[in-house]
Chain A
Amino acid sequence: MRLTLDTYAALQSPIHRWWPRTKLVGLGLLMLGFSSVRQIQLIPVCLLVTAVLYLLSGLPWSFLRSRLRYPGLFLLGIVIALPLLSGNTLLWQWGPIAIRQEGLIAMGLIAGRFLSIVTLGMMLLGTTPLLTLIDTLVSLGLPPLMAEMALLAYRYLFDMAELLSHLRQAMRLRGFKPVGTPHSWQQLAAVIGTLLIRSYEQSERIYKAMRLRGYANSRKTLYQIKGWGQTPDIAALGLCATIALTLIGLQTIT
Chain B
Amino acid sequence: MHIPDGFVPPHLCIVGYGLSGLITWHCIRKINRHSDPSVHMPKAALLTAAFFVASSIQIPLPPMSLHLVLSGLLGAVLGYYAFLAILIGLFFQALFLGHGGFSTLGVNAVIIGIPALVGHGLFQLRRWLPQALKPSVRLGISGFLAGAIGMALAVSLFISLLILTVPVGFDVATERAALLTLGLAHGPLVIIEGIFTALLVTFLQRTKPELLIGLVPEPVRARQPVRSTGDRLCD
Asked if A39 lies at the interface with its beta carbon under 8 angstroms from chain B, I say no
Q: How far is the CB of B50 from chain A (nearest CB, A)?
A: 4
Contact between chains at A189 and B98 (CB < 8 Å): no
Tell me the minimal C-beta distance from B75 to chain A in angstroms.
14
CB pair A200 B84 closer than 8 Å:
no
Question: 8 nearest interchain CB pairs?
Answer: A113-B6, A114-B6, A152-B45, A189-B199, A117-B5, A199-B50, A106-B167, A102-B169
Q: How near does chain A come to B80, taking the closest CB pair, in angstroms?
A: 11
**A160 in contact (CB, < 8 A):** yes
The verdict on B207 contacting chain A, using a C-beta distance below 8 Å, is yes
Query: Which residues of B from 49 to 66 have beta carbons under 8 Å from A?
Result: 49-54, 56-62, 65
B56 touches A145 (CB 8 A): no
* CA gap between A14 and B164 in the complex, in Å: 40
Minimal beta-carbon separation of A151 from chain B (angstroms): 8
Given A143-B28, A179-B62, A185-B196, CB of A149 within 8 Å of CB of B45: yes
Q: Would you call B47 and A199 a contact (CB within 8 A)?
A: yes
Extra 9 A-B pairs, beta carbons < 8 Å, given A146-B24, A164-B56, A196-B200: A71-B98, A106-B169, A117-B102, A148-B41, A178-B58, A178-B60, A188-B57, A196-B47, A207-B43
* B219 close to A (CB within 8 Å): no
Residues of B within 8 A of A191 (CB): 57
Tell me which of A82, A143, A189, A200 contacts B196 (CB under 8 A): A189
Chain B residues lying within 8 Å of A90, measured Cβ to Cβ, are: none
Contact yes or no, A186 B199, CB < 8 A: yes
Which of the residues A31, A32, A203 comes within 8 Å of B46, measured between beta carbons?
A203
With contacts A146-B84, A146-B88, A196-B54 taken as known, whether A180 is within 8 angstroms of B61 at the C-beta atoms is yes
| B49 & A153 in contact (Cβ 8 Å cutoff) | yes
Q: Which of A169-208 contact B (CB under 8 A)?
A: 178-180, 184-186, 188-193, 195-200, 202-204, 206-207
Q: Interface size for chain A: under 10, 10 to 19, 20 to 34, or 35 or more residues? A: 35 or more
Closest B residue by C-beta to A205: B42
For B99, list chain A residues within 8 Å (CB). Answer: 70-71
Q: Give the residues in chain B near A3, CB-CB below 8 Å.
A: 96
Q: Any chain B CB within 8 A of the CB of A215?
A: yes
Do most interface residues of chain A lie in helix, strand or loop, or is the interface mixed?
helix
Residues of B within 8 Å of A67, CB to CB, are: 98
Residues of B within 8 A of A189 (CB): 196, 199-200, 203
Q: For the complex, is B229 an interface residue (Cβ under 8 Å from A)?
A: no
List the B residue with the shortest CB-CB distance to A201. B208
Alpha-carbon gap, A70 to B100, bound state (A): 10
Cβ contacts under 8 Å, B52 to chain A: 153, 157, 160
Chain B interface residue number, banded:
35 or more
B128-139: CB near A (< 8 Å → 1, else 0) gives 000000000000
Asked whether A220 is an interface residue with its Cβ less than 8 Å from the other chain, the reply is no
**Closest residue to B68 on the A side, CB-wise?**
A192
Type the 1/0 row for A66-110, where 1 means its CB is closer than 8 Å to any CB of B. 011111001000000010011110000000000010110010001
A residues less than 8 Å from B6 (CB atoms)? 34-35, 110-118
Query: Which residues in A have their C-beta under 8 angstroms from that of B226?
Result: none
Closest Cβ neighbor of A88 among chain B residues? B169
Assess whether A2 is interfacial by the CB under 8 Å rule.
Answer: yes
A1 at the interface (CB under 8 A from B): yes
On whether the beta carbons of B211 and A215 are closer than 8 Å, the reply is: no
Least CB separation from A106: chain B residue: B167
The 29 sampled A-B contact pairs (Cβ below 8 Å) are: A1-B53, A1-B96, A31-B102, A32-B13, A70-B97, A70-B99, A82-B167, A100-B169, A112-B6, A114-B7, A116-B6, A121-B5, A122-B98, A124-B102, A143-B28, A146-B28, A150-B91, A151-B45, A157-B49, A160-B50, A160-B52, A164-B54, A178-B59, A185-B196, A188-B59, A192-B200, A196-B204, A196-B208, A204-B42
**B-chain residues with CB within 8 Å of residue A124 when the two chains form the complex:** 102
Specify the chain B residue showing the minimal Cβ separation from A67: B98
Q: How far is the CB of A230 from chain B (nearest CB, A)?
A: 26
Min CB gap A104→B, angstroms: 11
Is A254 interfacial (CB 8 A cutoff)? no
By beta carbon, the residue of chain B nearest A181 is B60
Does A86 contact B28, Cβ atoms closer than 8 Å? no
Min CB distance B199 to A, Å, is: 4
